[in-house]
Amino acid sequence: MTISWYALLNYLSGPNEQAGRIYISGSTPNIGHGPLEVRGVDLNGYRRFTCGVDTFTVYDPSGSQQFACPNGGTAKQLTTQRIFHKNGATMTSTERVMPQGMSYHPTHGHTHFDQWGIYSLRIAETGVSDPRAWPIVNEGYKLGFCLMDYNSCSDGAANNHCKDDNTVYNAGTTLHAADFPNYGLGGANYGCSMSRQGISSGYLDIYSEYLDGMWIDIPANTCNGNYWIVYEVDPLDVVKEEDETNNWTAVPITLTQQPAGSATAQITCDEQAYVCSGGEVRLKANAGTSYQWSTGATSNSIMAGPGTYTVTVTNYCGTATSSPFTVTALPQPAQPVAQGTTVCEGQSAELTATGTDLVWYNAVGDQVGSGSPFNTPPLFAGATYYVADQYNAPGNLIYGGKSSNSGSGEYHSGGQSLKFNALASFTLKSVMVYAGDPGVRTVELVDGTGVMRATRSAYVPLGMSRITLDFDITPGSNYLLNTAGFTDLWRSTSSIAYPYAVGTVASITTSSSGSGSYPYFYDWEVEIGGGFCESVHTPVAVTVEVCSGIAEALPLRGIEVYPNPNNGQFTLSLYLLTDTRVQLSLLDALGRQVRTESAMAPSGNWRHVMDHTDLPKGLYTLSIDLAGRRFLRRVVLE
């Protein structure tokens, strides 16, 4: 799929600017070899829905039945993508369930596509070549009403929409029917069907500027000047495509209808600015035409360690300097002191170290224990462990939002959200809810472009209780906090006074149904600051020896796999004290056996070359069985 820069600039006379908003159109040509086909009903006649943590499969070949969650609440639909394969004159196809639930509106009678397009107003940044990395003024998004064959690439109405490269403004060769070897594949008749939607090869869909959601709100204090519109279709890569890199475009736009504003400068950080020794966070300025940081940097963002920073931003409204922004240093524990030890083969080693909150890791970085002493598993070959001390700095807890469900209201079936703006990064630890019935509830955090950023499911008892969320939230506007599936939570309809301040980090502005209701989530518990630091790791070596008096001593003295990583060809080296039968198995990342062989290895240094260059690249495990024991080694094919 592509998005046409020509249509963005020219369809319906191009963008329609008003004070505070710009309306845009999006044309999405399919220049691939096959159709994009999205199905609400799979080829076997089944539809799939989610209600919170539960998934339901419904046999409904016509797609005409309306689905409702058994316990009420909001359902999402799991759509499938049909992928075509042409081998000569033979056509086959497969289906895949798309990896994200889509909005489900039973009365519309067809499948929707969440985040079909995300578009943003940006200012170009000198030295940054990818427009998708330029500073954002604001964003909008489109929930796909349906996907259809709106025009052919050969239709006069769509002339110049279809190009071999739409990512470069004012470039690309225009394509017509003769340029598509499978022109019309898909039937050229996709429409708003519950069972089948799509865009045929050599065809395109268009969302016009007069449709709901086809706009970008322009914030106050955005002055007239030269900007860019960046538009990306299927930005979350929900659809599997022949080319995942060409579904965006960027076009210049000059704003002329905005009222005069005043210059502003602000620093934000997409995480809480508390770092360990040597750590850094990324600080970002608001969009401008130039930047001057207190460090001397002139980019929109900088990496910053502990300290206090300011930035001066110049834009079309003028020049302003931000308030100081502080990155706070967290204490880092001292490196633990530990000594290695020697054990007999088959024995466990007891390892000790200094520190207050110790964590132990194996040689590949997996956490294997905590505290002191740490007892290893039985060892048959030398091993090195690593120990670190850690420090958890608690943050400050504040509370906000409507403090209780005082006033009139009702236990509500779901489908509503609280809207809020995040003014700084924070952690939403928990919220208070009032349940009409016990059961599992699923809470979702959705950002201003409709993308679900976090979700948590938890059992909620009858009455008042807290749901632990631990959502890390970054600065942004128009967040939604809502439920999926079974709700039956109290919604207030009186004693409401928006906006509700949550300290200085957030403002709960209204609900999705307006200021007359407050749905579900009371007494927000928010954590600001704090963090986690780990000391430098200390290696602790364990030597394994053959000890007298130990029955059935292992005839193995060393294992080596080299090179590692490799291209699929590597050597296994064993040092054996006696002739030994060795069983070898290669397992994939899911633990499935993909190769096996057996050999009688002579005593001494035995080297065995293994050739698996025909296998896909990835992480594998080599299982080595000898003398009644098993050894595992990770092998990376690249």
Q: What is the pLDDT of residues 27-61, one digit of tens each?
A: 999 999 999 999 999 999 999 999 988 999 999 99
Task: Compute the average pLDDT of residues 355-384.
Answer: 92
pLDDT of residue 575: 82
pLDDT band at 437 (very low <50, low <70, confident <90, very high): very high
Q: Is pLDDT above 70 for 615?
A: yes
Tell me the C-alpha distance between 586 and 434, whole Å: 53
- 205 phi/psi in degrees, rounded to 5: -110, 155
Give the pLDDT mean for 277-282: 92
pLDDT, tens digit (0-9, with 9 covering 90-100), for 558-579: 678 899 999 999 999 888 888 9
The pLDDT of residue 407 is 95
The Cα 521–Cα 516 span in angstroms is 15
- What distance in Å separates the CA atoms of residue 547 and residue 544, rounded to the nearest whole number? 9
Strands (E), 64-196: 76-78, 80-87, 90-97, 102-103, 113-122, 136-144, 151-152
How far apart are the C-alpha atoms of 310 and 327, rounded to whole Å? 11
For the chain, give every domain's residue range.
5-255, 267-329, 396-529, 554-637
Q: Could you give the CA distance from residue 483 to residue 373 in angstroms, rounded to a whole number?
A: 45
Whether the predicted pLDDT of 459 surpasses 90: yes
Instruction: Please state the rounded mean pLDDT for residues 157-175.
Output: 95
- As a whole number, mean pLDDT of residues 604-623 equals 91
pLDDT tens digits for range 255-273: 999 999 999 999 999 999 9
Q: Percent of the chain beyond pLDDT 70?
A: 98
**DSSP H or E stretch at residue 412:** strand 409-412
Which pLDDT value is given to residue 546?
A: 65
Domain 396-529 classification at class level: mainly beta
Q: Are 455 and 498 in contact (CB under 8 A)?
A: no
Q: Is the pLDDT of residue 618 over 50?
A: yes
Task: Identify the bridge partners of residue 65 per DSSP, sorted by sequence position.
Answer: none
CA dist., res. 378 & res. 342, Å (int): 12
pLDDT in the model for residue 250? 98
Dump pLDDT digits (tens) for 309-341: 999 999 999 999 999 999 999 999 999 999 888
End-to-end CA distance of the chain: 30
Burial of 151 (0-12, 13-18, 19+ CB in 10 A): buried
pLDDT at 283: 98
**What is the predicted pLDDT for the residue at 304?**
97
What pLDDT, in 10s, does the model give residues 216-247? 999 999 999 999 999 999 999 999 999 999 99
Average pLDDT on 369-391 reads 92
Asked if domains 396-529 and 554-637 share a fold, the reply is no
- What is the pLDDT averaged over residues 197-215? 95
pLDDT of residue 86: 85
Question: Mean pLDDT of all residues in the chain?
Answer: 92
Tell the burial category of 405 from Cβ atoms under 10 Å away from its Cβ (0-12, 13-18, 19+): buried
Query: Prior bond to 539 cis, omega within 30?
Result: no
Collapsing DSSP to helix, strand or coil, 6 comes out as helix
Query: Given this model, what pLDDT does residue 552 score?
Result: 53
Contact 55, 49 (CB under 8 A): yes
Q: What are the tens digits of pLDDT across the range 300-309?
A: 999 999 999 9
Predicted local confidence at residue 105, as pLDDT? 79
Task: Please give the angle made by the CA atoms of 302, 303 and 309, to the nearest 5 degrees.
Answer: 70
Confidence band for 113, pLDDT divided at 50, 70 and 90: confident
- Give just the sign of the alpha carbon dihedral 363, 366, 369, 375: negative
Taking domain 554-637, whether its CATH number is 2.60.40.3080 is answered by yes
> Higher model confidence: residue 608 or residue 364?
608
Secondary structure class of 318 (helix, strand, coil): strand
Residues 496-536: pLDDT tens digits? 999 999 999 999 999 999 999 999 999 999 999 988 899 99
pLDDT band at 550 (very low <50, low <70, confident <90, very high): very low
> Regarding beta strands 325-329 and 274-275, do their DSSP bridges make them parallel or antiparallel, or are they unpaired?
parallel
